[in-house]
Amino acid sequence: MTAADHLTQAISDAYDETPYISNAFPYTSPGNLRAVATLYGLATPQLANARVLELGCAAGGNLLPFARAYPDAQVIGIDLSPQQIEAGQRVAEKTGARNLDLRAMSLTDITPDFGTFDYIICHGVFSWVPPEVRDAILRICRENLAPDGIAYVSYNTYPGWKAADVVRDAMILNSFGAQTAQEKLSSAKEMLELIENGLWHNNPLHSALQSVAGKLRGQSDHYLLHEYLEAINTPCYFLEFAAAAQQAGLAYVTDAEPQLTFASTYGSKVALGLNSLSANSNREMREQYLDFAVGRSFRKSLLVHADRAGGMLEQPEGSAFKAMHFATRLDAAPPTPNASPEHRHYLTPNGATLSTKDPAMIGMIDALNTAWPRSLPFEALLEIATSSKSGVPHDDVANSLYMNLITLVQSSAVNFRMESAPYLPADSKPALIPGARELLGEVTGQASQVGMYNLWHQPATPPASALAQFLALHMDGSRSLSDLRTLARDALTSGRIAHPDGRSYKGARNLEPVAQEFVNALLTQLRHSGLLAN
């Protein structure tokens, strides 16, 4: 066995010993990759019959939402860890994902004979494997990607990872000689304590190191082990990755969250500085300058075959939104100090506040909130905008809508797709999304390696209380609201399940109002998280 083989086996053993919880990542979803590619003028295969490959899929949690949403698609995931693959296979079988094929193998064994795929996903792998495996990832993206396909590769980047490198080195130093994963973690956390509370005040890296250590304090053990204590973690500058992709016969398109590649996203100061510095540079160089300006530590790059570079737009085209569908759920946010009364304030998914007094924007957000988790087509949003701008020429209304959508995208506040969301029309008989009832039993009954998801490919929080889980498991589309209320009432009256408020309702009468209130609140919660199919 070669040194590389020993290292590969060590990586596999580490993931078998301390597996990741395999969750969905929305920016990796084929639907997102397809929509982003469209903004840059690149046509990609439709989702319904797509062939999808994930390299380093863990237990398949990032493939399961797509597989259940598109049962006619072919979905394959490979991972080096047999233990994680076996766990994923059990979940796939239980949730009815018959089109999800998970295989324990090394990605270096993939050849052109493995077949071609419309979408290739490689999330959280590239920086954590030996050089020959990184080369294989790019080779697969060239040899196994369909002519009109798109690949996604994420990786750690400099300059943002510079301070994290120091923290990682210190943690590894203090955990040297540890025999078990728990011993490694204990020693590494001791070093985090030193960095957080024991640094000299004149240490030039004081604030940067403390910031990294503080963020790590809130991370899970498996994240610390696999992100910071693995044998390999090799960040690179974006230009180095782009050059490697080009050498492999691939062309860089953009980030899976394209708004992160624009200086204007980070404010006028950054935009003005970058515009003066890199005005005559190509797009890759401009983005590298931006990485220095914002201290980027992680990238999610989209790649296509090099021969498609000539047909790719230099900048995304907002008019492409005309063929798309949109969805969002923005909670109301407290007004900012000195804000005018006509402003409305919303909390974006990343915790920022979005404020507007534009009636067309407010009407659009209200309509999208009402429709959630279903999506609305551009035409419906245009109709809403037109009704709020009576007498304004159609083209002006459309241009204003484009700008409002760009604002939402730049704020990471909206989902956009070529296809409509795979949710059902509103129905009188509640049902969970495909696979959710079966997975609910897994994630609440034992230590599942696969996390709950919604059909927007987002991780979702399952119902917490025993009564909520009991009712959710009965939401198969065959029971009405009245049926669910009766189930809740009988469970409380019999004393079999306690109400989450802590009160005992055993033997109580006239519990219909209590049961109805609980069912209504549960349905709101499930719709809010995207777990309700209708």
Angle between helices 481-494 and 512-529 (to 10 degrees): 120
DSSP state, 70? -
Tokens at 464, concatenated: 């917490």
Q: Which fold has domain 3-158+235-311?
A: Rossmann fold (3.40.50)
Interval 317-339 mean pLDDT? 88
Q: Given this model, what pLDDT does residue 6 score?
A: 46
| pLDDT at residue 234 is higher than 90 | yes
Task: Specify the pLDDT at position 18.
Answer: 57
pTM for the whole thing?
Answer: 0.92
Least confident range of 130-139, 148-157, 405-414, 497-506: 497-506
On the question of pLDDT at 290 being above 60, the answer is yes
Q: Alpha-carbon distance 198 to 323, whole Å?
A: 56
Characterize the bridge pairing of strands 74-79 and 100-104. parallel
Predicted local distance difference test score (pLDDT) of residue 19: 62
Q: In whole angstroms, what is the distance from residue 417 CA to residue 94 CA?
A: 29
* Cα dist from 324 to 215, 257, 377, 418, whole Å: 37, 16, 6, 5
DSSP of 18-45: SPPPB---GGGSHHHHHHHHHHTT----
Nearby residues of 78 by Cβ (< 8 Å), 6 or more positions away = 53, 54, 55, 56, 57, 102, 103, 104, 105, 107, 110
- The answer to whether the beta carbons of residues 490 and 335 sit under 8 Å apart is no
Task: Find, among 512, 522, 426, 427, the residue nearest to 474 by Cα.
Answer: 522
The pLDDT of 305-324, averaged and rounded, is: 94
Q: What is the pLDDT of residues 16-50, one digit of tens each?
A: 555 668 999 999 999 999 999 999 999 999 999 99
Q: What is the mean pLDDT of residues 304-329?
A: 95
What integer best gives the mean pLDDT of the chain?
91
Q: pLDDT tens, 184-200?
A: 998 888 899 889 899 99
Give the pLDDT confidence score for residue 78 in this predicted structure: 98
**DSSP letter string over 417-482?**
ESSPPSPPPP-SS-BBPTTHHHHHHHHHHS--SB--B-TTS-B-PPP-SHHHHHHHTT-BSS--HH
524 CB-contact burial (10 Å; exposed 0-12 / middle 13-18 / buried 19+)? exposed
Digit-coded pLDDT (tens) for 443-481: 887 678 999 999 999 999 999 999 999 999 999 999 999
pLDDT band at 350 (very low <50, low <70, confident <90, very high): confident
Mean pLDDT, residues 53-76: 97
Cα distance between residue 144 and residue 126, in whole Å: 17
Instruction: Report residue 218's pLDDT band, with 50, 70 and 90 as the boundaries.
Output: confident
Dihedral through CA 151, CA 153, CA 159, CA 160, nearest 10? 120
| Percent of the chain surpassing pLDDT 70 | 96
* In the predicted structure, residue 15 carries a pLDDT above the cut 70: no
pLDDT of residue 8: 53
